[in-house]
Structure 1
Amino acid sequence: MILLQVPAADSTAAAASTEQSLQLFDLVVKGGWVMIPIAFLLLATIYLMIERYILIRSQTRIDDGFIDNIKDMVLQGNIKSAESFCRNQKTAAGRILEKGIGRIGSPIKEIESTMETIGQIEISRLERNLGYLGIIAGIAPMLGFIGTISGIIRIFYNISLSDNISVGIIAGGLYEKMITSGSGLIVGVIAYCAYHLLNMMIEKFTLKMEINAFEFMEVLQKPTELARMR
């Protein structure tokens, strides 16, 4: 008897789970046509979030001892080795310092200007497409509210036609349309969090890069070392 009861319990749980998933799917469908653009915005958010995170994570990587190795090479006069070392990093920091090393021998202001320009270009590359996440964070909740409002309008229009005010009709139609508001808010929150978290990663890299650039320029400003490199 016990063995017979266990499969029965499992089948009951499976049926309940299937029924619940079907109910959730039905609720999403009942949200109406507004759920289509909200679903598209959700997919776009996930894609942008993952694509930007992978890119920013790989491009802002600065190995321990990176700037120390460059400083040692420059102090030893191995300018070509320092350039090659930066180039092999294949990161934003490597490209910025590579341009600065390539300008060694030029006035300090020119080296600083070159590194600042390259730094702005690299930051722009990291921030590319982040603006779309900010747009989605604002549009998704609006689409949800539009779906809810259109649903409420339809409910009262049907009531005016049938001349029958029923709490069940109003509540049933209203909670179905509130699905769009909830979905829009969820997508908006995800996009909002992703936008600011990715920007925080870029800001952290910017601060670290400014520190490394300052240490690099300090080496170039030493009179004895400048004389040797010239």
Structure 2
Amino acid sequence: MTGTLDMLVSGGPIIAVLVVLSLISLTVIVVKIIQLWHVGGGRALRAAALEQWKGGDRHGAQKALEGGRSPADRVTAYAMRALAGGFKGAPLEAELTRRGNEELAQMNRLVRLLEIIAMISPLLGLLGTVLGMIQSFQELALAEGAANASTLAGGIWQALLTTAAGLLVAIPAAVAAGLFAARIETAAQNIESAVGELMLADQNPNI
């Protein structure tokens, strides 16, 4: 534990910034995992509700989706309520688009922050390395070639530490952002598919 603290202190302020970014990244990852856990589910529930809708049990279909936890469940449930109330045509399509965009905006929240952390962390690490190398060679120049090799090596090691730290922060953030984006894309496709099937079934009850 003491060795880790020594390394953090040796890395200077850039290491401190990377530690803060790491904590932010881990917090965001946990929050997004909890938020996006159910966004891709509910397909069986929506399929069963659609069959009820096709069979004429519109009330039962709406009730079936009331307990849905995914964005597609919520948007489809609203579409069913709107259709049952006689709200159709272009106004309904516009409202469904708005609700779908709101769901996507909610799911995408904080993902951009992870992408920014993944982008700037290696740059901060590289900056720390460059500054550390400059300092090490300045010390070598001031010593007029009489510097201790181990001292110089220690300075370079401390400088390279920031690059490693930057990569350690960036890699999990980049991986998480990519996985979250893929899950959000799946959820968006589920919304489009579920609403499309419902609108088609409403226009052609015999399908």
TM-score by length of 1: 0.79
Partner deviation per Cα, 1:102-133 (whole Å, 9 max, x = no partner): 22133344333322221111011000111100
Tell me, in whole angstroms, the C-alpha distance in 2 between the residues paired with 1:63 and 1:181.
Answer: 44
Of 73, 76, 80, the residue aligned with 1:94 is 73
Kindly report which structure 2 residues correspond to 1:1-230, keeping only aligned pairs within 5 A, or say none.
22-64=2-44, 66-104=45-83, 105-163=86-144, 164-222=146-204
Q: % of aligned pairs identical?
A: 23
CA drift at 1:63: 4.5
Question: Is contact 1:108–1:221 with CA below 8 Å preserved after alignment?
Answer: no
CA drift at 1:199: 0.3
Q: 1:158 to 1:219 in 2, by over 3 A?
A: same
Tell me, in whole angstroms, the C-alpha distance in 1 between the residues paired with 2:28 and 2:71.
Answer: 20
Write the letter of the residue equivalent to 2:6: D
Write the letter of the residue equivalent to 1:183: A
Question: Is contact 1:58–1:91 with CA below 8 Å preserved after alignment?
Answer: yes
Question: Is contact 1:99–1:114 with CA below 8 Å preserved after alignment?
Answer: no
Question: Is contact 1:67–1:212 with CA below 8 Å preserved after alignment?
Answer: yes
**Which segments of structure 1 move beyond 4 Å, counting only runs of 4 or more?**
none
Tell me, in whole angstroms, the C-alpha distance in 1 between the residues paired with 2:24 and 2:4.
Answer: 22
Q: 1:141 to 1:224 in 2, by over 3 A?
A: closer
Tell me, in whole angstroms, the C-alpha distance in 1 between the residues paired with 2:14 and 2:127.
Answer: 8
Count of matched residue pairs: 204
Write the letter of the residue equivalent to 2:133: I
Question: Is contact 1:59–1:91 with CA below 8 Å preserved after alignment?
Answer: yes
Tell me, in whole angstroms, the C-alpha distance in 2 between the residues paired with 1:167 and 1:108.
Answer: 78
Listed as ranges, the gaps of 5+ residues in structure 2 are: none
Q: 1:60 to 1:224 in 2, by over 3 A?
A: closer
Q: Secondary structure at the match of 1:89?
A: coil
The higher radius of gyration belongs to: 1
Aligned-residue CA RMSD (Å): 2.2
Partner deviation per Cα, 1:185-221 (whole Å, 9 max, x = no partner): 1111111111111001111222233222222122111
CA drift at 1:157: 2.5
